[in-house]
Structure 1
């Protein structure tokens, strides 16, 4: 069992850490969207190549 995270008003370091984690989560979500878009483009290009070969 883990200890509860202290409220930012009780611990400035906890508040900073919580903000950092939230910022990193936002960055990771944006990066995941970018990677998903790249996969969609690669799938579309692959499909076009398959149609050209047929």
Structure 2
């Protein structure tokens, strides 16, 4: 179990940290989507080179 996160109004540093974590999560989500798309393209190219439909 984790400790509750302090509210930004109680601690400006907590608000900054929470914003940073949210931003990083968005960046990672975008990166995961990009990597999944690249993987799908690589799999399709591999199948094409194998001659499999």
- Normalising by structure 2, we get a TM-score of 0.91
Deviation at 1:4, TM superposition (A): 1.3
Structure 2 match to 1:51: 51
Higher Cα radius of gyration: 1
Give the alignment's Cα RMSD to 1 decimal: 1.3
Q: CA separation in 1, counterparts of 2:29 and 2:19? A: 15
Structure 1: give runs of 5+ residues left out of the alignment: none
- Total equivalences in the alignment: 52
The Cα shift of 1:27 comes to 0.1
Q: TM-score, normalised by structure 1?
A: 0.90
Structure-2 residue corresponding to 1:25:
25
Gaps of 5+ in 2: none
Structure 2 distance, partners of 1:46, 1:3, is: 47
Pick the structure with more helix per residue.
1
